[in-house]
Amino acid sequence: MPDVIDLSTKLASFDEAWQPRTVGLYNGHDLMVAKLRGEYHWHVHPDTDDFFLVVKGEMEIDLDDGTTVSLSAGQLYVVPRGVSHRPRAAQEAHILLIEPTGTPNSGDPATAAQRRVISP
């Protein structure tokens, strides 16, 4: 039987904001869910794009060229590698992230959230 991942159930299992949880793997990439509240800090991923899919709520991503990308549930945006950005959410938002396994969420291993895996 295939492993079905229920994102709502996974998101209900924790409350911390900005602490992604790995819920599956895909071709060497972590499939992660996270809750966003408030602003994250400006950061950059020099070696990989940054994939954001809003599952619930709304979020914005500020880019270093002054552009702001606004996303609602069901919308996604990919921040190109090397672009400094700051995700934020005025109200709690739930997202799905896809990143190569081991990518620090802050762009810097010294300040990155610890990799957490939610078992099936």
Q: Is 115 part of a structural domain of the chain? A: no
Domain membership of residue 117 (yes or no) is: no
Gap between the Cα atoms of 99 and 91, Å rounded: 24
Question: Lowest mean pLDDT: which of 24-33, 47-56, 98-107?
Answer: 98-107
Average pLDDT of the segment spanning 20-41: 96
For 30, residues 6+ apart whose C-beta sits below 8 A from its C-beta are 20, 22, 24, 97, 98, 99, 100, 101, 103, 115
What's the domain range around 41?
Answer: 7-105
Q: Quote the percentage of the chain above a pLDDT of 90.
A: 82
User: 80-117: string of b/e by CB count within 10 Å (b at 16+)?
Assistant: eeebebebebeeebbbbbbbeeebebbbeeeeeeeeee
Q: Is residue 57 part of a domain?
A: yes
CB contact set of 38 (below 8 Å; sequence gap of 6+): 17, 88, 89
Please check the confidence at residue 112 and state whether its pLDDT lies above 80: no
- Average pLDDT on 100-110 reads 81
User: What would the mean pLDDT of 46-54 be, rounded to a whole number?
Assistant: 95
Does residue 37 lie within any of the structural domains?
A: yes
Q: For residue 83, tell me if it sits in a domain.
A: yes
* Residue 117: pLDDT over 70: yes
Based on the structure, what is the number of domains in the chain?
1
Give the C-alpha separation, 23 to 114, whole Å: 14
**What is the model's pTM?**
0.91
pLDDT of residue 120: 65
Between 67 and 115, residue with greater pLDDT: 67
- Asked whether residue 58 is assigned to any structural domain, the reply reads yes
- CATH number, domain of 80, equals 2.60.120.10
| Residue 114, in any domain of the structure | no
Q: How confident is residue 1, by pLDDT bands cut at 50, 70 and 90?
A: low
Residues in the chain: 120
Residue 118: inside a domain, yes or no?
no
